[in-house]
Structure 1
């Protein structure tokens, strides 16, 4: 009888413990892990130039879930850019991320289960800067020279396209794989001859430590770079309502980032990244905010990703075919545009690069 009583007590205790453990687990907040495939100056957890950067600096996601104590937002900025984001997705450490076209296509090709939810930082230009006294005056003269870029990023693919358009291949130059900070240091010390990049190169030229000799701005639009918000498929399927609210927040950030009266305030917000405001002004000179900050998954964007996939394999950056069927998931974006009365706010473009009727 004593043994039976002890057994019942033990069983009861186990059930009680299980109940409390379950209750405790139920009370644990859901952490939404958001990644950004870049990092600010001196490793600041901010960026510039995209509506995703606005969402971070303006705390759009945090505000969206401010009245939900069981939901937390955690941002991670990656010095290793797109390739590091892929690694984090593979290890299920991210639920959403801002990522450029090439690394997201590489992730798709290697089997990462993600969805493309909306554009952010589309149509970004690329710059080419040369070290002082390098003697380089045009792209054709890069042959045999040390040229920095960050491998596996959308800037990598854009740089190859630019080289090809001027009669060079990646093998014709000595590629040096460097992140933004490393590029600035190497170009300043003249350890490299030239580098592809964006705002860090504009800033370096403004300081008189390098010279920008080329930008894709005003050149063939296919030389530009695209990016967007990618979501982990398993999270999206498990939390569709939360996914919708995340997309809503990014769309609101895109709207504010696209309003011309907000230009000065926007650049001030992006300055949290450490990039000087005059550099951001130059980066967006002659560009409409709505053109650069559109979240639309339009014909132009989809055609650009398809071309990037083809070119990536052609250039040997991806070994297998990239199946884009079903990867673009516009339903959350479309729902947000409908409810926020933004269906006609941004101009969609066709695959030919020309405006199309909304």
Structure 2
């Protein structure tokens, strides 16, 4: 069980700028009272990477940007589209930007968004981003461990308060063990990687574990491949007051995201998607392995459906956040998920039957 000091530190790490909530509250109230006139600008943040000293977009946001459809549609309405690529600690940065009113939408992870909402800045998922990202448990290459059970009493590095901490704790529960059976060390990914390489920790729990294995830094002994309910999720989130004031703009953005996810889901575009994944310097072989999941069809990887799998995931995230005292205000999955924009967009694009709900 975490002590009060560490819980406080974790909340500060993820919540970032929530000290700006009074300002955000005033901004929200003003937006509700505002007319339905289109905003001068739509500001969308997304996870990115640094290239030649400049931040670049990644993922579906990059594809939306490259297609240009959304920018053109907004321009016809007198709205300027502004992209904000975010590198580093994306959760804290985007939470701060939402809280200060500097962004209207953001594509990022589940747990920071839950904490933001519990703090009083209300956002909602307007497009689920596929079937999730795999998580990995690695040990040093010199280790003889082949399972989590063999790490009992050992040091496991995990960046607490980040979405993948939930994945580790679910893995521990799946093995009918307790977090107290291990020494959980709170480290960001870079120092955690260094600790694994030097033997300062006995294991590392993270996303995207293949590069470390390829470099001989660690050996993967578990991953969420083939386990849809054990993957980490990131979605397109929007301020609730913005979608209430400008539902037409929200539907337009959702439709742009759906166009991009449908494009990615086509077999003929698979190689282009893989090439996009290498833009941040990730080797082609790593990108291919990341997408290779025998239990998940390529098309379904990009599903935007609000099915039972999505609702169950967010109920688990909410339960975890309350258990870890990361949030104090009760929330429900239904409050966080807003399916009307995807429903309208799929109908408009003739894709209402293209994806199938996940079987859970």
Which category describes the TM-score, using the shorter chain as reference length?
A: 0.7 to 0.9
Q: Which residue matches 1:305?
A: 314
Q: Which residue matches 2:23?
A: none
- Give 1:298 shift: 1.6
Structure 1 residues 313 and 293 mapped into 2: Cα distance closer, same or farther (>3 Å)?
same
Aligned residue-pair number: 321
- TM-score by length of structure 1 reads 0.79
Query: Quick check: 1:36 aligned with 2:36?
Result: no
- Give the SS at the match of 1:191: coil
- Give 1:337 shift: 0.6
* Long gaps (5+) in structure 2: 1-38
Q: Which residue matches 2:133?
A: 124
Q: Which residue matches 2:260?
A: 253
Q: Hey, what's the Cα distance between the residues in 1 that align with 2:327 and 2:194? A: 30
Structure 1 residues 67 and 222 mapped into 2: Cα distance closer, same or farther (>3 Å)?
same
Is contact 2:107-2:235 (8 Å) kept?
yes
- Give 1:211 shift: 0.6
Q: Which residue matches 1:26?
A: none
Query: What do the CA deviations read for 1:124-146 (whole angstroms, capped 9, x no partner)?
Result: 22111112223332111333333
Structure 1 residues 181 and 302 mapped into 2: Cα distance closer, same or farther (>3 Å)?
same
Q: Hey, what's the Cα distance between the residues in 1 that align with 2:65 and 2:326? A: 31
Q: Which residue matches 1:278?
A: 285
- Give the SS at the match of 2:306: coil
Deviates more, 1:253-262 or 1:122-131: 122-131
- Give 1:334 shift: 1.1
CA RMSD of aligned residues (A): 2.8
- Give the SS at the match of 1:244: helix
Is contact 1:296-1:348 (8 Å) kept?
yes
Query: Quick check: 1:214 aligned with 2:228?
Result: no
Structure 1 residues 215 and 274 mapped into 2: Cα distance closer, same or farther (>3 Å)?
same
Deviates more, 1:307-316 or 1:225-234: 307-316
Is contact 2:146-2:221 (8 Å) kept?
yes
Q: Hey, what's the Cα distance between the residues in 1 that align with 2:62 and 2:130? A: 9
| Matching residue within 105, 114, 124 for 1:96 | 105
| Matching residue within 53, 68, 80 for 1:71 | 80
Query: Quick check: 1:177 aligned with 2:177?
Result: no
Q: Hey, what's the Cα distance between the residues in 1 that align with 2:168 and 2:51? A: 23
- Give the SS at the match of 1:272: coil
- Give 1:325 shift: 3.8
Query: Quick check: 1:233 aligned with 2:240?
Result: yes
Structure 1 residues 277 and 31 mapped into 2: Cα distance closer, same or farther (>3 Å)?
farther
* Long gaps (5+) in structure 1: 1-28, 354-358
Structure 1 residues 46 and 210 mapped into 2: Cα distance closer, same or farther (>3 Å)?
farther
Is contact 1:51-1:293 (8 Å) kept?
no
- Give the SS at the match of 1:98: strand
- Give 1:119 shift: 0.4
- Give the SS at the match of 2:333: coil
Query: Quick check: 1:204 aligned with 2:233?
Result: no
Q: Which residue matches 2:350?
A: 341
Structure 1 residues 322 and 253 mapped into 2: Cα distance closer, same or farther (>3 Å)?
same
Q: Hey, what's the Cα distance between the residues in 1 that align with 2:333 and 2:314? A: 9
